[in-house]
Amino acid sequence: MDQKLVAVIDYGMGNLRSVAKAAEHVAPDNVRIVVTSNPDEVASADAIIFPGQGAAKACMQALHDTGMIHPIQQAAQEKPFLGICMGLQVLMSHSDENQGIDCLNVIPGNVKHFEFEENSPLKIPHMGWNQIHQEQDHALWQNIPQDSRFYFVHSYYIEPDNQAMITGTTTHGITFPSVLSHKNLFAIQAHPEKSAEHGLQLFKNFLTWNGH
C-alpha cells in the first residue's frame, strides 16, 4: 500500500497533541501523522488536519505569523482537509468575534455569537456532548450513527452562504450548522479528538478518505 502523510497544522493555537494522538490511535499502518509548522510540509502532505482553539483574532494572527495562510487556503482546495472547531470557524469569510475579523475566506459565510435572552437557562459557551444530525450522506459518516453525540465547546457558530454545504446540524437554543463539507473539505465544530468512539471513528474515516 502507498504511504500516506497526514499533516496536523501547528500554528501555536491548538490542542495539537490531543488531535495527533487521537489520529495516531486509529491510523492504518500506511499512514504517518506529523505535527508541523512548516508550510512546505503542508504543501507536500497527502491530507491535512487543521485544529484550532482560542479566539479568532489570535488564530488569524498566529496563522499570519507562521506563514500558514496561503498554504492552508491552497490545501483546502486540493486535498483531503479536516477542519476542527476554530479550524472550521477561521475557514469562513468573516467572524464577529473580537469586534469583527476577516478570516481565510475558504468558505463564504460568517461566524456569529450565540444570543439568548437574559434569563435563558441556556449556557454560553455551548459546552458538552450534543447531537450531530447528519443532513446528508458523506464518506466521513461511515459507521457513525445518525444523531450521535460529540463534545462541543464554543461560543460562536458558523453560517455558510451556500446551504448545500451543511452536512450536519446541532441544536442549542437554535439549530446551527455544526458540520460543513465541500468536495475535498470536511469541517466540524465539535472536537472529534475528545468525542470518544464516534470521534475516533471520524478520524479513521478521514484517514482513509480520498477526498471524493
What is residue 70's three-state secondary structure? helix
Query: Which of 31-39, 104-112, 127-135, 137-145 is the region at the interface with another protein (rule: CB under 8 A)?
Result: 127-135
What is the chain's percent helix, strand, coil content, to nearest 5?
Answer: 30, 35, 35
61-84 burial, b at 16+ Cβ within 10 Å, e below that, comes to ebbeebebbebbeebbeebbbbbb
59 catalytically annotated: no
Determine, following the binding rule CB under 8 A, whether residue 35 of this chain makes contact with another protein: no
> Of 113, 125, 162, 163, which lies in the binding site for another protein, with binding defined by CB under 8 A?
125
Q: Of 96 and 161, which CB lies nearer to another protein in the complex structure?
A: 96
Q: What angle do CA 156, 177, 80 make, to 5 degrees?
A: 100
State the nearest-atom distance from the C-beta of 153 to another protein, in Å.
4
Q: At what angle do helices 196-207 and 16-26 cross, to 10 degrees?
A: 70
Residue with cell 485544529: 51
Q: Of 148 and 184, which CB lies nearer to another protein in the complex structure?
A: 148
Query: Which of 11-19, 40-48, 71-79, 105-113 is the region at the interface with another protein (rule: CB under 8 A)?
Result: 11-19
Residues at the contact surface with another protein, assessed by CB under 8 A: 15, 17-18, 21-22, 25, 53-55, 121, 123-131, 133, 147, 149, 151-155, 171-172, 193-196, 199-200
What amino acid positions are annotated as catalytic residues?
85, 191, 193
